[in-house]
């Protein structure tokens, strides 16, 4: 009983400490994605561009490529190696940029002193506390293009704060980022 409670508490603590991934996508209403069955990469490698610091991480790129393919297969699409035979092609970009968040909070305090007839303490207001936080924001963007119509079919984005203690992206983080970016891309309907 206690062991189960401790495990649940640890899981909730780790979940609370995990930075959230924000994002979603836009589907082009002019493109009929219901006819899509197969996909391929827009280029080889599918990383279209890298934004920000320009530091290449081939391990992360391979993780992203594998995860994107797995998520699209999970949505019912089939990968083909020849882009000319695909219904849609996929490309993505990754990047990071330094961000600054400035916030303020008022400071209040209690003070005591001699008040004579009226008592001896009161509420005081001090200058606001200015809090400046520097952080790195990572971004993953994915584009799905209708190969035949040569039109964008979908654009998805996922952003996440990257903290200095992180040495690299775990499989769980990569999975979460890709799922967020492809969240609004529809699953393929089963053949009837």
Q: Does the residue 44 lie in any domain?
A: yes
62, 12 contact by CB (below 8 A): no
Higher pLDDT, 120 or 152: 152
Q: Does the residue 171 lie in any domain?
A: yes
For 15-80, the three-class secondary structure string (H helix, E strand, C coil) is HHHCCCCEEEEEECCCCCHHHCCEEEECCCCCEEEEECCCCCCHHHHHHHHHHHHHHHHHCCCEEC
Q: Does the residue 127 lie in any domain?
A: no
Whether residue 174 is predicted with pLDDT greater than 60 in this model: the reply is yes
Domain with residue 146: its CATH number is 3.30.160.670
Secondary structure of residue 192 in the 3-state scheme: coil
The tens digit of pLDDT for each residue in 107-135 reads 666 555 555 555 555 556 566 788 888 87
80, 32 contact by CB (below 8 A): no
The tens digit of pLDDT for each residue in 176-188 reads 999 999 999 999 8
Q: Does the residue 113 lie in any domain?
A: no
Q: Which residue has the tokens 């303020």?
A: 104
Q: Does the residue 73 lie in any domain?
A: yes
DSSP single-letter state for residue 188? P
Q: Does the residue 120 lie in any domain?
A: no
Number of domains in the chain: 1
Higher pLDDT, 186 or 17: 186
Q: Is the peptide bond before 45 cis (omega within 30 degrees of 0)?
A: yes
Q: Does the residue 139 lie in any domain?
A: yes
Full domain range(s) for residue 144:
20-100+135-181
């Amino acid at each position: 009983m206690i062991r189960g409670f401790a495990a649940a508490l640890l899981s909730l603590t780790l979940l609370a400490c995990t930075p959230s991934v924000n994002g979603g996508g836009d589907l082009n209403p002019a493109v009929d994605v219901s006819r899509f069955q197969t996909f391929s990469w827009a280029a080889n490698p599918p990383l279209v561009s890298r934004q920000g610091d320009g530091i290449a991480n081939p391990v992360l790129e391979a993780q992203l490529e594998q995860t994107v393919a797995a998520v699209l297969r999970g949505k019912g699409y089939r990968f083909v190696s020849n882009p000319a035979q695909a219904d849609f092609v996929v490309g993505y970009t990754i990047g990071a940029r330094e961000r600054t968040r400035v916030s303020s909070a008022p400071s209040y305090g209690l003070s005591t002193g001699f008040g004579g007839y009226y008592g001896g303490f009161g509420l005081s207001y001090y200058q606001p506390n200015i809090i400046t936080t520097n952080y790195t924001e990572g971004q993953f963007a994915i584009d799905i293009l209708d190969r035949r119509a040569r039109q964008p079919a979908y654009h998805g984005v996922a952003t996440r704060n990257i903290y200095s203690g992180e040495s690299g992206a775990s499989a769980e983080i990569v999975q979460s980022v890709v799922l967020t970016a492809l969240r609004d891309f529809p699953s393929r309907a089963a053949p009837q």
